[in-house]
Amino acid sequence: MKIKNYMEDVVIHLLYTIVKDREDICKCEKCLSDVAAIALNRLKPHYVVSEKGEVYSKVLNMSIQFEADATTAITEAVEIVKKNPRHHRE
Ligand SMILES: [Zn+2]
């Protein structure tokens, strides 16, 4: 089965765009992963059948609403992780 939650691609793509301009937040792998996970848990998954990874570019052009929802979720997740970063606690 070639199905994937295409929200993942949307969130990961937007995440880097959003954090790029933020000087006030940690951008280590752990924090960025936390932000992505929190954002994805807040968003409704959107499963698609993928054909050799072609989904990605289609997805990004597909829905402005997805992007808007994902941007909101990521921005909220960034604030959560900023207040309570987990990178030094293992
Ligand atoms: Zn960090």
Predicted confidence at residue 90, as pLDDT, reads 52
* Predicted TM-score (pTM) of this structure: 0.82
pLDDT of residue 43: 95
CB hemisphere CA count around 24 (13 angstroms): 7
DSSP E strands in the chain: the ranges are 3-5, 47-49
Question: How far away, in angstroms, is 29 Cα from ligand 1 center?
Answer: 7
CA of 60 to the centre of ligand 1 (A): 27
Helices (H) and strands (E) in the chain, counts: 4, 2
Q: How far is the CA of 67 from the centre of ligand 1 (A)?
A: 25
**pLDDT at position 5:** 87
The predicted pLDDT at position 14 comes to: 93
Tell me what pLDDT residue 59 has.
54
8 alpha carbon to ligand 1 midpoint, in Å?
Answer: 20
Counting as low any pLDDT under 70, the low residues of the chain are 52-62, 89-90
Distance 27 CA to ligand 1 centre (A): 6
